[in-house]
A and B are shown apart, each in its own frame.
Chain A
Amino acid sequence: MNPVRMQFIRDKLHEIAADEDTSTSLQPDQVLNGLDVLDVGCGGGLLTESLARMNARTTGIDASKSNISIATLHAQADPRLRDSGNINYLHTSAETLLDQPKRYDVVCSMEVLEHVDNPSQFLATCAELVKPGGHLFLSTISRTPLAYALTILMTEEILQNVSRGTHTYSKFVKPSELVQFFREYRSSSTGPNSSSALKPWITTPASANYIPRTEAELRGLIYNPLAARWHLAPRDAWGALECNYIFWVRKPKN
């Protein structure tokens, strides 16, 4: 799934950069150069390494100590990553990072949301860690019968290639719930400019059934078992958000 997620992150950042400066000559593969990126729940560091290879100053955090040591070891084996100094792993939680002043241009949290007990608190924490004008990328699974059939019934019960109990149906999050959260969410930080704190991240009303392209985006992630490959569904593809999906939202600027 990783190449598809990276593709989405790269292309979205490039799209926004090109929107803001139409004369930019920035190539999609340079768009992460020098950005401060946080990967929440980095696991073995798959996404973290990819981000670091794109020259982002990447911090990967995970609540599991063994995950962090595996990820550190893996990155050490790659001479280019080791020498670039772009990777920094921390065994900590996102909440703990809030105490530090550092905020990030991009915060990613892939396939984590469906495992946390208090999703709105988790979302608020991730949102807090984003710089004004920065980006938040989330990927998770929707709470639909199809998602149940594919991610729990199929992978855990029938094929058993994922250990039983990995996923809990009730913890799955619907795309509309994510969108609603960012319509209502207001930053709690007492930043230098409080006006930005009051701005919603998604400005269209709930009744509009429409999200501005420059504020947030939802895309389905679809697995093709024949090719053993993940695909990024086109925008607004019918039924694409029924199972795995990726979500991007941008923090309003000051």
Chain B
Amino acid sequence: MVLTSTSSRSAAYLQRSCRTLFAARSYSTNVVDCDVVIVGGGPAGLALASALGSSSVASKKISVTLVEGGDLHKIKSWNPAPDNFSNRVVSLTNTSQQFLKDTGAWSYLDQGRTCGVEQMQIWDGLSDARIEFFAEDLGPEIRKVGMSRLTENFNLQRGLLKHIENLPSVTLLDKTRVQSIRKGDSTDGAWPIVQLDNNQTLRARLLVGADGFNSPVRAYAQIPSFGWSYDTQAIVATMIHPPRGAYEGPNTTAYQRFLATGPIAFLPLSPCISSLVWSTKPALAKALLSCDPEVLSAMINASFRLPHISLKYLNSRILEEHAAGHPITPAKIREEIQWREKVHGFDQHSIYSSANAQSQLGVASMDSETLPPLITSIQPASPASFPLRFNHAETYLGEDSNARVVLVGDAAHTIHPLAGQGLNLGLADVECLSKCIENSLSSGGDIGSYTALLPYAQERYLANHILMAAVDKLHKIYTTELEPVVWARSTGVEILNELDTVKAALMMSAGAQTGPSLDASSAGWTMAGNAVQTLASASKTIGIMGNVVGNVLGAAVKNLAASQDQDTPDYPGILPTLQEAQTVIAQLTDEAQDKRESIVTLLSHINKLKEDIDAISNKLLEKIPLSTACHDAQGELWSASIESALIRLSLLKAQTEREFYNHSIPSTEAGKSTTKTSSKTVNQALEMGYGHLRAQEADMTKEAHQLDRQLLEYTNMLELVEGGKKGAYKQIVDDWAEVKQGTDECLKDLRRLGWTGD
């Protein structure tokens, strides 16, 4: 490629923070050296730029360049009417909020366009098993701030952009696309070279891929990723509804119902506006979006209220009409819904009825808050849909010849939105990566090097994977209705267990602010353990089912054989086929049984290990009285400093005493010389006195020696007190966390083994 003049306006702009390398050997153009090049101006990329640009260590030592193809100015000047909400909404956990507060970006968000979630209602579309969360249950601090905070993606992005505006070490290049990424000359360290479509070329010490699911950076670094697309489309829309009544709580409750087609979620934004995230089958999503918006709002109301069987019927009606080329009309769907309600015996005044959508006045019934308010309309142009998938890069770091590349956010992992964790995972990545970069900078490290980035990958990969796997499993468990096995499971007792995992998944992030880190990690641990347990029981059920089917078939074959004996050749040739089928089924059953057994043994091993580790952990915690409670630690700190102050005092005292004794000894010597000139009797008296003094002197020297020894001891003790503070305990806790991580990794492998058997 021949690029001649590159002294464009934006090149000059870049040189403010990056230095130009004119003596490039193999390039026909200017190459601008940059420390961090972030590709992608989504929330994760912007959050990283704002974190690095506001860090006192990083902002002094490195420049950050963010490249984005879209127009960031549009987002920065986004200024919607107060009652107009964008359809893409994010739930920020308290951990994520704290991170944004720490970097200083949080204050740039329009707080009026955020809504704290004080309650969550989650229930099953098939069995109506319900689970409720109340913010106050999570402690007084959570009660004040809510479990998480909902806001529009645009509000977050705009806030980050406004924050970045004030950060001199960050350069934004928007409306600029990455044309290609190639590896630089090996003589030049093989740093990644990013060719932009405005004729600029950047040479990156560290290239960050924050460029979403189809990450070009990931492709450049040849990092494989594994995953699958769910046969699911997410419909988003902004919903308008009347405010909650005078006797009801405010609109701060999030609702989610697990339907057989996917979860539907109601996320409050303001007293009478909420956001929809509805995961459903692609055909249904397409049909719904092509209908009148009134059909969509009627179906949203129905989807939170009607039983599964009716929803299934309504869905099939919508699909039929869509296939016939004339989308269903609002009047028609309303009529259908009302008929279904009558069939189910819904009272006109019950909260399950859609009839009172227009008139929600008066005293609300007791259970009115177990369901979201009825939607009256959809904000125009807000409905949209996008496909859902699961995807996880095999590593977050480019290796060997593709070094100096790191992935964050959706470029590293894509997740089903049912737990609202996708963006939070991305922000957690960014927080960890920026800390990792700061650490490396403060000990002179090269932030692009594998060593410097390894802690990031180690900390985030497993944490992300566990949550992603849990969310994926939830999706799969709740979207099956055909296989009788899973049907039995989802309506049976185990549903409670599964809802526990939802709870764990949501709590882990919600409560992260208050609980010590050890607790958070053990929550993840328990969740992983549950996952394996579920696998084992699932394969067990399959094994039993196989046996049943085998037996039924066996009986059928026997019957056939009997009828053949009676010489009725009605089914010639069917017998051998059936017998073959029977043996195959028997084999399969055996295999399933074997697999189950191996999983069960592995599980028992893991459980034992888990128990052992828990026991050790308890013992450790017992042995080390430095408890997790802040007060204890502070108390110890105080007592340690008091102790050291006392020792210091004793030291001083000892020193002065020694000083004193050393000087007093020669003065007794002087007393001896005066005795010679005195009279005899006085002389005798003095001699006696001198003897006393000698004895005293001996005592004093002894004492001085003793004091010297004490002095050394005190110095030693001071050393011990000061040296000990840094933390044998912390070391143990760190090592302990690492042991846990390792064991978690084993669990991950095991789960993979389980999935292949599924």
Question: Contact at B443–A74, with CB atoms within 8 Å?
Answer: no
Most chain B CB within a 10 A radius of its CB, from A32, A213, A234: A234
Question: Contact at B444–A210, with CB atoms within 8 Å?
Answer: no
Question: Contact at A51–B444, with CB atoms within 8 Å?
Answer: yes
**Which single member of B19, B726, B741 contacts A235 (CB below 8 Å)?**
B726
Contacts of B441 in A (CB 8 A): 29, 53
Chain B positions 33 through 63: 1 when the CB is less than 8 Å from some CB of chain A, otherwise 0: 1010000000000000000000001000000
Stretch from A75-83, A95-103, A175-183 forming part of the interface with B:
A75-83
Residue of A nearest to B190 (CB): A77
Interface residues in B337-365 (C-beta closer than 8 Å to A): none
Interface residues of B (CB under 8 A from A): 19, 21, 33, 35, 57, 187-189, 191, 203, 205, 439-446, 451-452, 454-455, 458, 712, 715-716, 719-720, 722-724, 726-728, 731, 734-735, 738-739, 741-742
**Which single member of B203, B442, B728 contacts A234 (CB below 8 Å)?**
B728
Contacts of B731 in A (CB 8 A): 231, 233-234, 237
- With A49-B444, A49-B446, A53-B446 in contact, do A224 and B735 touch (Cβ < 8 Å)? yes
Given contacts A3-B439, A50-B443, 18 further A-B contacts (CB under 8 A): A3-B451, A10-B442, A10-B444, A28-B442, A29-B57, A50-B444, A53-B441, A53-B444, A54-B443, A73-B187, A77-B191, A78-B189, A78-B446, A213-B723, A226-B742, A234-B726, A234-B727, A235-B724
Question: Chain B's interface: helix, strand, loop or mixed, by majority?
Answer: helix
Chain A positions 223 through 254: 1 when the CB is less than 8 Å from some CB of chain B, otherwise 0: 01011110101111100000000000000000
Contacts of A29 in B (CB 8 A): 57, 441-443
Question: Contact at B19–A79, with CB atoms within 8 Å?
Answer: yes
Most chain B CB within a 10 A radius of its CB, from A80, A212, A231: A80
Q: Is residue A159 contacting chain B, with contact meaning CB distance below 8 A?
A: no
Residue of B nearest to A228 (CB): B454
Contacts of B728 in A (CB 8 A): 234, 237
Most chain B CB within a 10 A radius of its CB, from A28, A49, A78, A228: A78
Interface residues in A1-47 (C-beta closer than 8 Å to B): 2-3, 6-7, 10, 28-29, 32
Question: Contact at A229–B454, with CB atoms within 8 Å?
Answer: yes
Task: Kindly state the separation between the CA atoms of A78 and B206 in the bound complex, as whole angstroms.
Answer: 12
Question: Contact at A3–B723, with CB atoms within 8 Å?
Answer: no
Q: How far is the CB of B723 from chain A (nearest CB, A)?
A: 4
Chain A positions 203 through 227: 1 when the CB is less than 8 Å from some CB of chain B, otherwise 0: 0000010101100000000001011
Most chain A CB within a 10 A radius of its CB, from B21, B439, B440, B731: B731
Question: Contact at A52–B444, with CB atoms within 8 Å?
Answer: yes
Task: Kindly state the separation between the CA atoms of A79 and B33 in the bound complex, as whole angstroms.
Answer: 7
Q: How far is the CB of B190 from chain A (nearest CB, A)?
A: 8
Interface residues of A (CB under 8 A from B): 2-3, 6-7, 10, 28-29, 32, 49-54, 73-74, 77-80, 83, 208, 210, 212-213, 224, 226-229, 231, 233-237
Contacts of A210 in B (CB 8 A): 712, 715-716, 719
Task: Kindly state the separation between the CA atoms of A80 and B443 in the bound complex, as whole angstroms.
Answer: 16
List 9 interface pairs A-B (beta carbons < 8 Å), by A numbering: A7-B443, A10-B443, A53-B444, A53-B445, A74-B189, A77-B191, A78-B205, A212-B715, A231-B734
Task: Kindly state the separation between the CA atoms of A32 and B442 in the bound complex, as whole angstroms.
Answer: 11
Q: How far is the CB of B186 from chain A (nearest CB, A)?
A: 9
- With A77-B189, A78-B189, A226-B741 in contact, do A3 and B442 touch (Cβ < 8 Å)? no
Task: Kindly state the separation between the CA atoms of A233 and B191 in the bound complex, as whole angstroms.
Answer: 35
- With A74-B189, A83-B19 in contact, do A3 and B440 touch (Cβ < 8 Å)? yes
Residue of A nearest to B440 (CB): A3
Task: Kindly state the separation between the CA atoms of A224 and B203 in the bound complex, as whole angstroms.
Answer: 34
Residue of A nearest to B34 (CB): A79
Q: How far is the CB of A54 from chain B (nearest CB, A)?
A: 4
Question: Contact at A50–B445, with CB atoms within 8 Å?
Answer: yes
Contacts of B189 in A (CB 8 A): 74, 77-78
Task: Kindly state the separation between the CA atoms of A2 and B439 in the bound complex, as whole angstroms.
Answer: 13
Question: Contact at A77–B742, with CB atoms within 8 Å?
Answer: no
Task: Kindly state the separation between the CA atoms of A152 and B635 in the bound complex, as whole angstroms.
Answer: 46
Question: Contact at A226–B445, with CB atoms within 8 Å?
Answer: no
- With A53-B446, A231-B731, A234-B731 in contact, do A226 and B738 touch (Cβ < 8 Å)? yes
Question: Contact at B455–A79, with CB atoms within 8 Å?
Answer: no
Q: How far is the CB of B213 from chain A (nearest CB, A)?
A: 29
Question: Contact at A3–B712, with CB atoms within 8 Å?
Answer: no
Task: Kindly state the separation between the CA atoms of A32 and B445 in the bound complex, as whole angstroms.
Answer: 14
Q: How far is the CB of B730 from chain A (nearest CB, A)?
A: 8
Question: Contact at A224–B443, with CB atoms within 8 Å?
Answer: no
Residue of A nearest to B21 (CB): A79
Contacts of A32 in B (CB 8 A): 444
Task: Kindly state the separation between the CA atoms of A89 and B439 in the bound complex, as whole angstroms.
Answer: 26
Contacts of A54 in B (CB 8 A): 443-444
Contacts of A2 in B (CB 8 A): 445, 451
Most chain B CB within a 10 A radius of its CB, from A6, A29, A73: A29
Question: Contact at A6–B726, with CB atoms within 8 Å?
Answer: no
Q: How far is the CB of A245 from chain B (nearest CB, A)?
A: 15
Residue of A nearest to B459 (CB): A227
Task: Kindly state the separation between the CA atoms of A228 and B723 in the bound complex, as whole angstroms.
Answer: 27
Question: Contact at A208–B187, with CB atoms within 8 Å?
Answer: no
Question: Contact at B738–A227, with CB atoms within 8 Å?
Answer: yes
Residue of A nearest to B56 (CB): A27
Task: Kindly state the separation between the CA atoms of A30 and B33 in the bound complex, as whole angstroms.
Answer: 24
Contacts of A49 in B (CB 8 A): 444, 446
CB-based closest 3 A-B pairs: A77-B189, A50-B444, A6-B443
Contacts of B444 in A (CB 8 A): 6, 10, 32, 49-54
Task: Kindly state the separation between the CA atoms of A79 and B35 in the bound complex, as whole angstroms.
Answer: 9
Q: How far is the CB of B19 from chain A (nearest CB, A)?
A: 6
Task: Kindly state the separation between the CA atoms of A192 and B722 in the bound complex, as whole angstroms.
Answer: 37
Task: Kindly state the separation between the CA atoms of A51 and B162 in the bound complex, as whole angstroms.
Answer: 36
Task: Kindly state the separation between the CA atoms of A122 and B525 in the bound complex, as whole angstroms.
Answer: 51
Contacts of B739 in A (CB 8 A): 226
Q: How far is the CB of B183 from chain A (nearest CB, A)?
A: 13
Task: Kindly state the separation between the CA atoms of A237 and B726 in the bound complex, as whole angstroms.
Answer: 11
